[in-house]
Amino acid sequence: MGATASDTQREIGEIRKDVSSAVSELKQRVTRALSPMTYVEYAQENPAAIIGVGLAGLSLAGVVIARSVAQARRPVTPAERIQNTVLGAAESLSETAQRAWAAVPSLPVEVRLGGGAAKDSDTKQLTLPSSNPGMMKRALWGGLVAIMMAAGGLAARRVSTAIWEATMGEGPPTKKV
Query: What would the pLDDT profile of 18-69 be if each residue is shown by its tens digit?
Result: 999 999 999 999 998 888 888 888 888 888 888 888 899 999 999 999 999 9
Gyration radius of the chain's alpha carbons? 35
Q: What is the pLDDT of residues 62-112, one digit of tens each?
A: 999 999 998 888 887 888 888 888 888 888 888 888 887 777 665 555 545
Residue 153 Cα distances to 85, 149, 176, angstroms: 11, 6, 14
**pLDDT at residue 126, as a whole number:** 52
**pLDDT at residue 135, as a whole number:** 77
Query: 3-class SS at 82?
Result: helix
Residue 118 has pLDDT above 70, yes or no: no
User: Which of 21, 1, 22, 19 lies closest to 10 in space, CA to CA?
Assistant: 1
Residue 92 Cα distances to 98, 105, 106, 110, angstroms: 10, 22, 24, 33
Cβ atoms of residues 127 and 133 within 8 Å: yes
**pLDDT at residue 106, as a whole number:** 57
The better pLDDT of the pair 111, 5 is held by: 5
- The mean pLDDT of the chain is 81
pLDDT band per the 50, 70, 90 thresholds, residue 116: low
**pLDDT at residue 66, as a whole number:** 92
Query: What residues does 111 pair with on adjacent strands?
Result: 126
Count of residues for the chain?
177
pTM reported for the whole predicted model = 0.29
Pairing of the two strands 110-113 and 124-127: antiparallel
